[in-house]
């Protein structure tokens, strides 16, 4: 039963992150490559896999987080066709939107 709970949490987290990425892409000025909901889902999945990989390999939270952040910025650049500054802006916007979601979602689940 624990595995089912973890998979459910993973799927719900992916859906919430997809919505956050999609909103950030819509808010962010300019035309990104993958502004669709499917493109946002791919971007959210890539970001989750990057963070999972670095936290699994480098078991030191601060170092793995910093390394994952820079790889995530690079992935945002490639996936969305923006520069380093654009990727940083998108990452901050996604972080803020996820923060707002986290204020409300724990009460819904």
In order, the DSSP letters of 26-58 are: HHSSS--TT-SHHHHHHHHHHHHHHHHHHHHHS
pLDDT score for 108: 53
Tell me which of 27-31, 63-67, 71-75, 99-103 is least confident. Answer: 27-31
Number of domains making up the chain: 1
Domain that holds residue 41: 3-105
Residue among 72, 81, 102, 100 nearest 28 (CA): 81
Q: How confident is the model at residue 73 (pLDDT cuts 50, 70, 90)?
A: very high
More confident residue, 49 or 106: 49
The pLDDT of residue 71 is 95
pTM: 0.83
Residue 66: is its pLDDT beyond 80? yes
pLDDT at 81 over 80: yes
């Amino acid at each position: 039963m624990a595995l089912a709970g973890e998979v459910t949490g993973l799927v719900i987290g992916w859906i919430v992150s997809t919505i956050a990425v999609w909103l950030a892409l819509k808010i962010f000025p300019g035309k990104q490559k993958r502004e669709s909901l499917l493109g946002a889902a791919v971007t959210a999945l890539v970001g989750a896999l990057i963070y999972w990989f670095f936290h699994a390999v480098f078991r030191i939270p601060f170092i793995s987080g910093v390394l994952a952040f820079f790889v995530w910025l690079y992935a945002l650049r490639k996936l969305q066709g923006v520069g380093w500054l654009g990727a940083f802006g998108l990452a901050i916007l996604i972080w803020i939107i996820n923060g707002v979601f986290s204020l409300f979602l724990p009460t819904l689940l």
